[in-house]
Amino acid sequence: MKRLWWALCPMLLLAGCLLPDEQEFLDERVRACGRDFSCPSGLSCVEGFCVASEVDGSQCTPACAPHQACSGARTCVPRYSALVVTPEEGSLVGGGPISVRAELRVGTGLAPLFPDTLRFSVVRGDGGSGGTLSQVARSEGVYTTQWTPPGEGEFLLTAAYPGDGGPSTTVRLTVDTTPPSFSVTVPPPEVAAPSGGTTFSDPASGDLSKPWRRDQVVSVQVRSDEPHLVPSSVRLRVEGTDGSLTPAGDVVPFTQGCDARFCGTAQVKLWEPVFGAFRGSLRLLVEGSDSVGHAGGGSGSVNVTRWKWAFDGASGPIRSSPALGPSGTVYFGSSSTLGKVFAVLPDGRKKWEAQLGSVDGSPAVGLSPGGTERVYVGVTSSNTGVLYALDGSGGILRCPMAGTFTVGPTRSAVSLTRVRYDVESAPLETAMVLVDGSTSIAVLRPDAQDSRQCLFPGGPNNFTAEPGAALVTRGQDVFFGGSNGQVYGYRFTGTQWNALYASPPSVGARVTGLALTGERLVGAASSATIENVGGVFSLLAADASGLWRYPSSFGTLHAVRQLSIGPGDTLFFGRDLSSGWGDLSWMQLGASSPGYSVVGSGSYKAAPVLGAGGLVYTASMRSQPSDRPDVAAWSSDLRTLLWRLTDSVGAVSASPALDCARAGDGGASPASLGTLYVGSEDGKLYAFVVDSRGLDTHAPWPRYQHDSRNTGNPETPISSCP
């Protein structure tokens, strides 16, 4: 009863609480006052109210207990207005030792006569043992001890005056010693069913059950049954393959369908963590804390693949490099008597196809008059070459025109420039391709009138181009090489192309690859029959002087088919061998030896692709150590193999293309990713998710035919996202 009375005492008004037998003084004690004479006898004016002042205890009869004071009214009154315990009533605490504090607060006007100690005790809510308490320390009415609970549960903690009848306070506490734990759930990805020749699932994921693509966002669910969890503390991070941790999006709580005390979702962007593999797993690490500061966690994993899709045109091998339109449409052709030209959207759906003949050289994408993408492609049908201009609506323009004369097979890439012919008022888009025979160059200009649309301006007699040979242009000039090992340059003069070189230089092997950097032509050469003949070369484009070759004799490096040029005129190339293993190398233009070579790495016909972020992508005919074709990603110095795919892809002779990641409408995706398109001898076009957002814009010639559109013209901007 006394304990309840202490709790109900109006402490702000009274200097000390009266017990019921002292009630007759209550009315006088709470009287407002200004000076002492305003108060009844035995009371003093303190802080505006009449209170009982303490007098010598001998004046009270009987004598007051130690926890009491003798008031001016000669009555024993409580000396302490309150006993305050911390932790307070209803607190949640962690495991021990826990600091316990009890403060005796003295009534106004009374002397602070504090006992040497207080009595502390703890019992379980069900009456069991309450653990241990350390020795009590005292400081000016504040008493402290350390409590070590025996475990979790509810406990009653009591602090009491050491003598009978003194103040006592009991608080109910809950002890939580268990850190929170979490579960992580990754939903299965939705993989589209095969359609129209396109398959979307990774055919060789092996133990990776239902992998997500590197370019997708996964809605990861986090659950916990921790009753005292602080929801705002929950965080999810993704561990990369190098051990680095990447924060995921916020864990947002949800309640509908939640089967735990806490449920939340986080949007994990799979392109953000480091992922040094073609396919593998990323660890998901969740952590959070409860209201007493215990930190806990949980983990899960998400399976990831770079496989995007594979399109099977079922019309022969792909030996030409894909060209990309401004909205990401992929254009390529197949090499067979029933060859076709295909347009495939970035999501893998076929847009259109046209059966025109064998495509042995790469197409090029022109400008888009009226918003319609124009595609140029050279084909051969019945040993006759035709240069076509195709548009998205099915329109076709051909050169030579139907029913006119015939030309020999066409095998080179298409190159684009702009020239003004004769009396035309402005330069017009001009597509060129090499044809075997005496005409050598075929020219198609869709926006010109009448006879200026289809031109055959001549070229070297009895000319033969290597399949897939490069054709490059700049301004009014065009450059190419032939099977005879010679390099040719022609300049347009208004009505025709005239030879730049009185005597075309010979580099000593068949010319296949060609590029321009600054004032120099740079090329790749190889023998069709002798593997130890070939290499890379360079000469001045203006007059063919200053020939440089590596190796100088073209007899120790072996066949080089194509090449790319990186920042600082760094050449990247591989060797093409039908037996044995070639090297993948880089070297400075004009140097006497490579800066670095991956010795015996594979057999390469395709040019490496230099991607944004300093990454190099290659595709091979066969590779070490598996003796199978591969697609791989390397560091810029080729010293680090980042990932390699050696299954589920055919041999590659056509140089890959690289685009940025695309949104559903064909616009650029915000993801810092790209798509590598690889055409194969098995007739399939493969799409892989890579970590470059398009081509390296700092490279003068980052891929075969220079840019994503395959224009073969250094005046075409290299955009990281065309």
Per-residue pLDDT of 340-394, as tens digits, reads: 999 999 999 999 999 999 999 999 999 877 778 899 999 998 888 999 999 876 6
Q: How far apart are CA 376 and CA 365, in angstroms?
A: 6
pLDDT at 26 over 50: no
Question: 371: which residues sit within 8 A by CB, 6+ positions away?
Answer: none
Q: What angle do CA 413, 416, 418 make, to 5 degrees?
A: 160
Work out the pLDDT band at 627, boundaries 50, 70, 90.
confident
CA dihedral 57, 63, 67, 69 (to 10 degrees): -30
Q: What angle do CA 210, 211, 217 make, to 5 degrees?
A: 120
CB-neighbour burial class of residue 670 (10 A; exposed 0-12, middle 13-18, buried 19+):
exposed
Taking a C-beta distance cutoff of 8 angstroms, is the pair 363, 341 a contact? Answer: yes
Strand order in the sheet with 609-611: 609-611, 615-619, 631-635, 641-645
pLDDT digit string (tens) for 641-657? 999 999 899 999 999 99
pLDDT digit string (tens) for 551-609? 988 877 678 999 999 999 999 999 888 777 889 999 999 999 999 999 989 999 999 99
> How much is the pLDDT for 29?
43
Q: How far apart are CA 700 and CA 166, in angstroms?
A: 91
Q: How far apart are CA 538 and CA 547, in angstroms?
A: 6
The alpha-helical segments, DSSP class H, found in 487-530 are none
What fold does the segment set 308-690 form as a domain?
Methylamine Dehydrogenase; Chain H (2.130.10)
Work out the pLDDT band at 3, boundaries 50, 70, 90.
very low
> How much is the pLDDT for 12?
32
Tokens of 161: 């005056």
Q: Give the torsion sign (CA, 206, 208, 214, 217).
A: positive
> How much is the pLDDT for 383?
86
Work out the pLDDT band at 72, boundaries 50, 70, 90.
confident
Secondary structure (3-state) at 503? coil
Percent of the chain with pLDDT over 70: 91
CATH of 183-305, one of 1.20.1050.10, 2.40.30.10, 3.40.640.10, 2.60.40.1930: 2.60.40.1930
* Distance (Å) of CA 21 to CA 58, 75, 79, 720: 20, 10, 16, 92
Taking a C-beta distance cutoff of 8 angstroms, is the pair 572, 590 a contact? Answer: no
Work out the pLDDT band at 314, boundaries 50, 70, 90.
very high
- What are the residue ranges spanned by the domains of the chain? 2-78, 82-175, 183-305, 308-690
pLDDT digit string (tens) for 403-456? 666 788 898 999 999 999 888 899 999 999 998 877 788 899 999 998 889 988
pLDDT at 19 over 70: no
**Residue environment code for 288-301, b if the CB has 16+ CB neighbours within 10 A, otherwise e:** bbbbbebebbbebe
Taking a C-beta distance cutoff of 8 angstroms, is the pair 465, 483 a contact? Answer: yes
Cis omega (within 30 of 0) for bond into 247: no
Half-sphere exposure for 128 (CA within 13 Å, toward CB): 10
pLDDT at 491 over 50: yes
> How much is the pLDDT for 722?
63
Tell how strand 323-324 and strand 92-93 pair up: unpaired
Work out the pLDDT band at 42, boundaries 50, 70, 90.
low
Q: What is the DSSP letter of 665?
A: T
Q: What is the DSSP letter of 24?
A: G
pLDDT at 4 over 50: no
Look up residue 613 and give its amino acid.
G
Most confident of the following: 45-54, 69-78, 565-574: 565-574
Count of CB atoms within 10 A of residue 271's CB? 21
> How much is the pLDDT for 206?
62
pLDDT at 99 over 70: yes
The alpha-helical segments, DSSP class H, found in 140-193 are none
Work out the pLDDT band at 14, boundaries 50, 70, 90.
very low
Facing residues of 566 across strands?
570
> How much is the pLDDT for 205?
66
Helix, strand, coil distribution of the chain in percent, nearest 5: 5, 45, 50
> How much is the pLDDT for 117?
95
- Identical fold, 82-175 and 183-305: yes
> How much is the pLDDT for 52?
59
Facing residues of 160 across strands?
119, 168
Average pLDDT, the chain: 89
Average of per-residue pLDDT across 312-322: 95
Work out the pLDDT band at 537, boundaries 50, 70, 90.
very high
pLDDT at 20 over 80: no
Q: What is the DSSP letter of 459?
A: -
Phi then psi for residue 26, to 5 deg, are: -60, -45
Instruction: Provide the CATH number for the domain formed by 82-175 in this structure.
Output: 2.60.40.10
Look up residue 370 and give its amino acid.
G
Looking at per-residue confidence, does 670 or 279 come out higher? 279
pLDDT at 11 over 50: no
pLDDT at 504 over 60: yes
Work out the pLDDT band at 25, boundaries 50, 70, 90.
very low
Strand order in the sheet with 323-324: 323-324, 330-333, 340-344, 350-355
Facing residues of 323 across strands?
331
> How much is the pLDDT for 40?
65
pLDDT digit string (tens) for 246-297? 999 889 999 999 999 999 999 999 999 999 999 999 999 999 999 999 999 9
Tokens of 710: 């395959």
Taking a C-beta distance cutoff of 8 angstroms, is the pair 148, 68 a contact? Answer: no
> How much is the pLDDT for 479?
96
> How much is the pLDDT for 535?
93
Look up residue 505 and give its amino acid.
P
Q: Give the torsion sign (CA, 105, 106, 109, 115).
A: negative
Residue with tokens 């019945």: 382
Question: 423: which residues sit within 8 A by CB, 6+ positions away?
Answer: none
Report the length, in residues, of the chain: 722
pLDDT at 1 over 50: no
Taking a C-beta distance cutoff of 8 angstroms, is the pair 312, 278 a contact? Answer: no
Q: How far apart are CA 358 and CA 115, in angstroms?
A: 105
Look up residue 315 and give its amino acid.
S
Secondary structure (3-state) at 22? helix
